[in-house]
Structure 1
Amino acid sequence: MNRAPGLSVRLKLALSYAGFLMLAGALLLTAVWVFLLRDRPISSLVPRLDNVLRVFDPTNFGPSVFGTAAAVVLGFLLAFGLVGGWFLAGRMLAPLTRITDATRMAANGLLSHQIRMEGRNDEFRELADAFDGMLTRLAAHVAEQKRFAANASHELRTPLAITQALLDVADSDPDHERVQLIERLRIVNARAIALTEALLLLSRSDQRSFARERVDLSLLAEEAAETLLPLAEKHGIGLEVSCEAALAIGSPTLLLQLATNLVHNAIVHNLPERGSVWITTQSGPTSVALSVENTGEKLGPELVSTLVEPFQRGTERTRDGHAGVGLGLAIAESIARAHEGTLTLVPRSAGGLRVTVELPRAIGPQGVPRPMPSPGFGSK
């Protein structure tokens, strides 16, 4: 924004200090004149200087003499106020200068710089601490976006490179089986499309650009289980659904995607045979929860902590042919965060994983939550 040049804040404060000091001095001198000196001879006020003041006629100690003295005093107050106000304003505004310098450095891309203002708490230090917190979150977000962009580029490059290799082989070998080539190209293309759609969904949930309405998580969990039942039966995975009404506020489409991702993840990351998946929903006084628990290999806390990162598949526990695009839990975590909720991953002691999504509970028609049982998921 283009603005006309103006006075600095420091100069404005100095002038304000000086003006206030002069006003106070003028009021004080006026009060002295009105209440003490107007009707009294000066010799009665300072008797020890009678011999000096006798040269003056007390009846002439009037407005002209007092006005001259008052002008001298006010001039001194003005000079003292300007000088003192200038130094005081500089001292008071020094923290603001540090904040301004940090802002310019952040605008130039240096997000690692911190103000770290010392001293006791006041308005400037609260501003500096808030700015440091903003820089920390912004730096983490930028680093995450760079890492995500690099991973996404790598993931998208893989199907494109495979497609190019298949086309090169077909071009160099006219007798190559075209039906097999077309089928392989179809599979690679489907994977690229799935990855692109997952990236778009992740971007949409991060931007929180969706309409909100009352949603029952139990219905979405049952729908996700019904949709994925054929996949579970194909791999010998047993699904157990135990859901009670759990009303939240959000996007039915995104929350259904969240439930589907969790159930799909529990199915494809399971035991080679006779695995199990447990799906439950419960509601508490202020929140509702969806929990998906599955059997599987034992997982270390270090691995579990990385599973919500984009493109982290946990390959040591992935079924062949069902690795996905590595965005299932990342999308679920993003959707939960966009609904002011949380996603928690806990490894099961017997092997496998338990994922719990907790969302704020929808307020009932009367302005209070509907009475429902308190949450209390049991470990299996």
Structure 2
Amino acid sequence: MTDPVRKPRRRGMSARWKLTLSYAGVVVVSGIGLLAAVALYLLRYVPDVAIIADRFVPNRSDLIRAFVPVAIVMMLVLLAIGLGGGWLIAGRMLAPLDRIGKAAQLAAQGSLSHRVALEGPRDEFRDLADVFDSMLEQLEAHIAEQQRFAANASHELRTPLAISQTMLEVARNDPDRDVDALIDRLHEVNARAIELTEALLMLSRAERRTFTREPIDLSLLTEESAETLLPLAERRGVAIDVGGDTANVLGSPALLQQLITNLVHNAIVHNLAEGGTVTVRTHVLPEAVALVVENTGEVLPAHRVATLAEPFQRGAERTRGDDHVGVGLGLAIVQRIAQAHDGSLVLTARESGGLNVTVWLPHPFPRPLA
């Protein structure tokens, strides 16, 4: 069933005219009140009979006949002053809203670089303009990130498809092709494309926050992830040490499991060739829960650490034969999952080499400080 077509609403009176009429109405009503007070409290003391004296003394009727025309003229003057002054004051008061409206129109047309930049002392309009500018900055940064992500995703998805097409073309023109080797290579390329697609879906799910929150113990999830990745760690000669407090949080068990798995997997893969270690700890603080994953490895410069959570950024060069080359979305997914749970991701390079990764998540029941 389709929604009925909505008729365009007739444009009503502008806010400036409404304020102008309001100001004029206040001025006129105030003038009427003042004149009524004069009439009621002063004229009542003047008798409405002929006053016999040596010279002409007006009575109440004479004063009313003389007062009414002047009062009408004054009311017209007050009305003109109210309309003119109200129009100017309303225009001055609504000028910030007009600037914000023009900025909103530009934003609707796709121009997010424009800012209101309202001057003057802080008031309600200045606060509104500042909030609007902040929103535009966040939208501009988000769209730029999405465009960069889409370009990188397109490139990453196109790569395995192009490799498969090249291999098939070479195999078609090679009568002595090794079918088994071709199938193995195609299987490897296809598995990588599937892994990338699943990572993109996981990233999208985390960004949409389409999950149900339920109580979960992070310490149990860390033990499960470490047990799952233990064979990989043993093949690479990396020791995993898991421990810490019972850390209860509210969130999606599947997403949090993926978060921990990605962190432990990265810590194993980006490690020393021999004798590497991975330490996983959970800590409970009064206001937050911390998951800390630390690994040995090469010394990382600060500028490199700052980009590790960006999509399709890989922490180290890999060999072509690495079965766990990854797709460059591990830490990006971790960051999105943490943000979806109202948390944050902090990356710190270790002085002796390797990386310290801390995920902060809100405590489900904040405890008062002692």
* TM bin (shorter chain): over 0.9
Deviation at 1:128, TM superposition (A): 0.6
1:273 and 2:274 correspond: yes
User: What is the TM-score normalised by the length of structure 2?
Assistant: 0.93
Q: Which residue of 1 aligns with 2:3?
A: none
Number of residue pairs matched by the alignment: 359
Task: Pick from 44, 56, 73 the counterpart of residue 38 of structure 1.
Answer: 44
TM-score by length of structure 1 reads 0.90
* Structure 2 equivalent of residue 27 of structure 1: 33
Distance in structure 1 (CA, Å) of the matches to 2:19 and 2:127? 21
Percent identity (aligned): 57
1:329 corresponds to: 331
Distance 1:80 1:55, change over 3 A: farther
Mapped partners of 2:319, 2:359: distance in 1: 22
Pair 1:261–1:347, CA change in 2 (3 A): same
- C-alpha change, 1:353 and 1:319, in structure 2 (3 Å) is farther
The change in CA–CA distance for 1:319 and 1:155 in structure 2 (over 3 A counts) is closer
CA distance in 2, matches of 1:218, 1:171: 53
For the residue of structure 2 that corresponds to 1:312, the secondary structure is coil
Cα RMSD (Å)? 2.1
- For the residue of structure 2 that corresponds to 1:315, the secondary structure is coil
- Secondary structure, aligned partner of 1:281: strand
Q: Is contact 2:117–2:129 with CA below 8 Å preserved after alignment?
A: yes
In 2, Cα distance between the equivalents of 1:63 and 1:317?
102
Alpha carbons 2:350, 2:356 under 8 Å: kept: yes
The aligned residue for residue 356 of structure 1 is 358
* Structure 1: 4+ residue segments shifted above 6 A: none
Partners of 1:284 and 1:87 in 2: how far apart? 57
Q: State whether structure 2 residue 135 is matched by structure 1 residue 129.
A: no
For 2:286 and 2:60, the matched residues in 1 are separated by 86
Give, in angstroms, the shift of residue 61 of structure 1: 2.6
Deviations 1:210-253 (A, max 9, x none): 00000110000000000000000011101111122001100000
| Pairwise CA distance, 1:318 | 7.8
- Post-superposition Cα deviations, 1:15-61, rounded to whole Å, max 9, x if no partner, equal 1111110100001110111111222379xxxxxxx99xx65633533
Q: Are residues 1:304 and 2:310 paired?
A: no
Shift of 1:317: 7.4
Q: 1:304-347: per-residue Cα shift (whole Å, max 9, x none)? A: 00000001002247896132000000000110010000111111
User: Which whole-Å CA distance do the structure 1 matches of 2:253 and 2:320 have between them?
Assistant: 29
Which residue does 2:113 correspond to in 1? Answer: 112
Alpha-carbon distance in 1 for matches of 2:71, 2:198: 81
Q: Name which of structure 1's ranges 135-144 and 310-319 shifts more when overlaid on structure 2.
A: 310-319
Alpha-carbon deviations, 1:135-193, whole Å to 9, x = none? 00000000000000010011111100110011001111132010110000000000000
Aligned position for 1:46: none
Matches within 5 A, 1:86-165: 86-165=87-166
Contact kept? 1:270, 1:297, Cα under 8 Å: yes
